[in-house]
A = this chain, B = another copy of it.
């Protein structure tokens, strides 16, 4: 480096090095015995900024934090996560206190005194005291004009917040979410490991491709042409742990899924991964319920267990979706027979099909609150979601009569039957949809949620924010028809058949229900699991005969099943989604410290980034010519 640059630069650097900011914590011994307090043990603080009260008056304290306000060198308000403390600068100390940019980091030593009469702030935990400054150390000055004001983060666009995530993290909501996440996970571990004998085992994330393993990130290896993959879940490993005699396994597991751009997905996410030997479905559901009760934050109310259970079929029939939001009613009703037996012609062609069904849902207050524009918007939801597009709307008038072009074609008896089924009140809105099998249910399931949001946007209370309606959905189908013929696993090929249907596996696999279960809360699926196949013959049959997969890539698992594998089952809870529900945030990005944007990029570090061909050479790969 040139001499000139050195001299020039060094001066300012040496000045910086001589400021207390750099030297001061290094040179002093702050060690305190560890029993002083949880947040301030082993540190240069005697107290946090949130804990001083009248009982501390007269004490000399040392607090550290960020400058939240500074006024005319008269006082400074110091902030850390725990709260705010007002620091008064006596006249003789004013020369020692520089004019500081907001968000500068300082350490203050001073005496706690009562605030003068009339200056108390009863809304602040520290509002009855102030600290009279004796000594101030500027630990690190903040530059002026940060990209946004920490207090205003709610007004800031998410892109900017993500680019400056280290500032965004200072906001109260993110801090609270991350700390709550840490606390809940700790309580889950206590319940599982300390109280119920679970073993926390780490499984590899450099794994190999699994059959049908689409959406798996690949990691090139030094072996030419060979790749690790980042697993979507530790499924195989946790089953192998059961074979290995680790009775009860838990891992807060990092998982990976490459789905390109999806708004509420992250390329890496976390699941609470659980597996147990010698259990049946009830055991796993019980365990999870007790775990959630144990870790549930007090501030969110007490959970009532057992959670209700609903079959997949009932969920689809009543809510049109396998993850129903049961915080509100407005269930779907089957009106196929009523319409079939009416003299309505509109539905005739549909009803000629054997699997035809006509369903209806009564939206409480829909006619009263929805404009014609709102109703059109519902119609466009149908357009997006249904091939058949048979959709009708009936308003319930003030006198209880039904209003719709459809109604004049109905006989009085048909209307009575509809009313008896749907029980509409004046001001309600009946939605009617026709299609095959669960198609009308799906449409009405979507509309049910749309209508709830629409009503809420108009100030009608439909769902209580503070409610947590947990629900188990059980008895899923084991297989689903595959595009192009054949079947595929509804969940994954290791799921065991329902014991009552096991005899149908070889003859009618389509009719077999599984021992899969989903945990749903407020319309969000936050977990899923199953009892697994532990019999090698059954597993081989499902893979080879039913799914027609190549078993060679799973030979180690099949081999393990016949080497003394106990019956076992488990579950994986999506920690990010669970936390989003608990914290009441609309996005999982608000419960993750450093999330990726919707397209999988990190706006802060600019990941992913270019890598030189020289570095790729080690892995025997090159960018593909396009």
By the criterion CB–CB under 8 Å, are B165 and A178 in contact? no
Let me know if A452 is at the binding interface, CB within 8 A.
no
Nearest CB on B from A259, distance (A): 10
Let me know if A209 is at the binding interface, CB within 8 A.
yes
Let me know if A550 is at the binding interface, CB within 8 A.
no
By the criterion CB–CB under 8 Å, are A193 and B186 in contact? yes
Given the contacts A199-B179, A535-B21, A563 and B254 also touching, CB distance less than 8 Å = no
Given the contacts A268-B206, A560-B166, A218 and B619 also touching, CB distance less than 8 Å = yes
By the criterion CB–CB under 8 Å, are B197 and A38 in contact? yes
Query: Closest residue of chain B to A191, judged by CB?
Result: B34
Q: Which residues 264-318 of A have a CB within 8 angstroms of B?
A: 267-268, 270, 276-284, 286-287, 290
Given the contacts A42-B196, A43-B276, A605-B556, A165 and B26 also touching, CB distance less than 8 Å = no
Contacts of A624 in B (CB 8 A): 224, 616-617, 620-622
Let me know if A466 is at the binding interface, CB within 8 A.
no
Let me know if A105 is at the binding interface, CB within 8 A.
yes
By the criterion CB–CB under 8 Å, are A204 and B594 in contact? yes
Give A221 to B283 CA distance when docked, in angstroms: 41
Q: Contact string, A166-192, partner B, CB cutoff 8 A, digits 1/0?
A: 111110000100110111011001000
Given the contacts A169-B245, A243-B166, A566-B105, A534 and B26 also touching, CB distance less than 8 Å = no
Query: Closest residue of chain B to A24, judged by CB?
Result: B567
Let me know if A411 is at the binding interface, CB within 8 A.
no
Let me know if A56 is at the binding interface, CB within 8 A.
no
Query: Closest residue of chain B to A227, judged by CB?
Result: B611
Tell me the number of copies of this protein.
Answer: 2
Query: Closest residue of chain B to A507, judged by CB?
Result: B10
Give A59 to B289 CA distance when docked, in angstroms: 29
Contacts of A608 in B (CB 8 A): 206, 208, 219, 221, 223, 226-228
Give A14 to B64 CA distance when docked, in angstroms: 71
Report the stretch among A139-147, A416-424, A440-448 that lies at the interface: A139-147
Let me know if A72 is at the binding interface, CB within 8 A.
no
Q: Contact string, A593-625, partner B, CB cutoff 8 A, digits 1/0?
A: 110100011101111111100011111111110
By the criterion CB–CB under 8 Å, are B602 and A207 in contact? yes
Given the contacts A17-B538, A201-B178, A609 and B209 also touching, CB distance less than 8 Å = yes
By the criterion CB–CB under 8 Å, are B219 and A169 in contact? no
Let me know if A338 is at the binding interface, CB within 8 A.
no
Across the A-B interface, the 8 shortest Cβ-Cβ residue pairs: A169-B244, A208-B607, A103-B564, A26-B499, A142-B564, A10-B506, A226-B608, A221-B608
Interface pairs (26), CB distance under 8 Å: A12-B537, A23-B502, A34-B196, A39-B197, A42-B279, A42-B290, A43-B277, A43-B278, A81-B246, A103-B563, A140-B566, A142-B563, A169-B243, A181-B200, A183-B193, A206-B217, A206-B268, A207-B607, A208-B608, A209-B611, A220-B621, A222-B260, A228-B607, A236-B605, A553-B609, A622-B624
Contacts of A279 in B (CB 8 A): 25, 30, 42-44
Contacts of A484 in B (CB 8 A): none
By the criterion CB–CB under 8 Å, are A42 and B287 in contact? yes
Query: Interface centre among A21, A221, A224, A561, by most B CB within 10 Å?
Result: A221
Give A179 to B506 CA distance when docked, in angstroms: 40
Q: Which residues 217-268 of A have a CB within 8 angstroms of B?
A: 217-230, 236-237, 240-241, 243-248, 252, 254, 256, 258, 260, 267-268
Contacts of A182 in B (CB 8 A): 193, 198-201
Contacts of A268 in B (CB 8 A): 204-206
Q: Which residues 3-56 of A have a CB within 8 angstroms of B?
A: 5-6, 9-10, 12-14, 16-18, 21-23, 25-31, 34, 38-39, 41-45
Give A14 to B537 CA distance when docked, in angstroms: 10
Query: Closest residue of chain B to A147, judged by CB?
Result: B563
By the criterion CB–CB under 8 Å, are B563 and A167 in contact? yes
Given the contacts A167-B563, A258-B222, A602-B207, A22 and B538 also touching, CB distance less than 8 Å = yes
Contacts of A88 in B (CB 8 A): none
Let me know if A592 is at the binding interface, CB within 8 A.
yes
